[in-house]
């Protein structure tokens, strides 16, 4: 009996809720499981622009959902990741930590208003109140290690706050991030809310940071040279920037959730005459 050859997996980018090939048609070869070489799509500048456009298109619908509904979707995301844990190209412990992070931030969606918002003490006859709103389209530059947990630790608070995301995956270990796109296909996450790009960070991160339609960017790589370049590009379009180091555990990702959420939230304050 002759042994059969397995059907090799074709990895694609995840943009606008669809699995697409890179516009450039380029691929990079990396080592996969069992030392087998795997072709990874190498995203281009055009792919970054397409991803940002998809995130911008999905923003109003995602931000307009009730906090309770966003929490349900994040919880379903965690549930779907749990069901596909064995198919994700990452250590089991890392996958479990990523699942727990999603559940943690799913519980934050309906707590942002009472924690960050409220009625402000001002002199009569006026009433002033503040309401938290999403920042908008958030770029995420994922770390190389841990590739999955480091990505989810930045995705979860951005989504919980009502933002949409364009993420540049790990340079060296993008497989778990690409696998995460397949999980989203069954997780009720609306198309365009999360967009995942594999490729070369040195090419993609500056294009993303300098995009005029990006509202915030989170750099979790810990690279000082990249951080300086992002700061310079983001300043030109007044894009909010947050630099952080990779979350190595569930405790890291959830140690100070309010600061992560607040960094991607805007406070809208309204003044109203009392009794009007």
For residue 252, pLDDT over 60 is answered with yes
For residue 48, pLDDT over 60 is answered with yes
For residue 136, pLDDT over 90 is answered with yes
- Over residues 227-234, mean pLDDT: 97
Domain locations along the chain: 13-273
- Over residues 16-28, mean pLDDT: 94
- Over residues 87-91, mean pLDDT: 90
What is the predicted pLDDT for the residue at 128? 82
Q: pLDDT category, 33, cuts 50, 70, 90?
A: low
Tokens at residue 44, please?
A: 């281009």
> Is the whole model's pTM more than 0.85, yes or no?
yes
**Contact, 68 vs 203, CB < 8 A?**
no
Q: Which of 141, 93, 170 is nearest to 243 (CA)?
A: 141
Q: What is the CATH number of domain 13-273?
A: 3.40.605.10
- Over residues 121-140, mean pLDDT: 87
For residue 32, pLDDT over 70 is answered with no
Q: pLDDT category, 1, cuts 50, 70, 90?
A: low
For residue 266, pLDDT over 90 is answered with yes
For residue 11, pLDDT over 60 is answered with yes
- Over residues 96-124, mean pLDDT: 90
For residue 276, pLDDT over 90 is answered with no
What pLDDT, in 10s, does the model give residues 140-197? Answer: 999 999 999 999 999 999 999 999 999 999 999 999 999 999 999 899 999 999 999 9
What is the predicted pLDDT for the residue at 275? 63
Q: Which of 131, 149, 162, 185 is nearest to 55 (CA)?
A: 162
Comparing 255 with 8, which gets the higher pLDDT? Answer: 255
**How would you label 191-214 residue by residue, b for 16+ Cβ within 10 Å and e otherwise?**
bbbbbbbbbebeebbbbbbbbeeb
26-35, 216-225, 264-273: least confidently modelled range? 26-35
Q: What percent of the chain has pLDDT over 70?
A: 97
What is the predicted pLDDT for the residue at 78? 98
- In DSSP notation, 167-196 reads EEPPSS--HHHHHHHHHHTTTTPPTTSEEE
What is the predicted pLDDT for the residue at 43? 97
């Amino acid at each position: 009996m002759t042994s059969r050859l397995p059907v090799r997996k074709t990895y694609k980018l995840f943009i606008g809720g669809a699995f697409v090939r890179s516009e450039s048609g380029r691929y990079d070869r990396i080592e996969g499981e069992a030392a087998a070489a795997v072709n990874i799509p190498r995203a281009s500048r055009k792919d970054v622009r397409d991803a940002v456009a998809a995130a911008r298109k999905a923003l109003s619908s995602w931000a307009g959902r009730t906090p309770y509904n966003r929490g349900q979707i994040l919880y379903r995301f965690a549930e779907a990741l749990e069901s596909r844990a064995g198919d994700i190209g990452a250590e089991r412990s890392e996958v479990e930590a990523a699942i727990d992070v999603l559940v943690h931030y799913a519980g934050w969606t309906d707590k942002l208003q009472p924690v960050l918002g409220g009625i402000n003490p001002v002199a009569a006859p006026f009433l002033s109140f503040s309401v938290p709103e999403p920042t908008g389209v958030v770029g995420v530059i994922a770390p190389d290690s841990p590739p999955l947990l480091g990505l989810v630790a930045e995705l979860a608070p951005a989504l919980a706050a009502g933002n949409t995301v364009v993420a540049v995956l790990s340079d060296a270990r993008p497989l778990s991030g690409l696998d995460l796109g397949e999980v989203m296909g069954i997780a009720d996450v609306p198309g365009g809310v999360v967009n995942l790009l594999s490729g070369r960070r040195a090419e993609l991160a500056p294009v993303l940071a300098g995009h005029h339609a990006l509202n915030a960017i989170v750099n979790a790589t810990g690279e000082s040279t990249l951080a300086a370049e992002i700061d310079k590009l983001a300043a030109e379009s007044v894009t909010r920037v947050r630099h952080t180091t990779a979350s190595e555990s569930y405790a890291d990702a959830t140690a100070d959730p309010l600061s992560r959420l607040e960094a991607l939230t805007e406070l809208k304050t309204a003044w109203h005459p009392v009794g009007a």
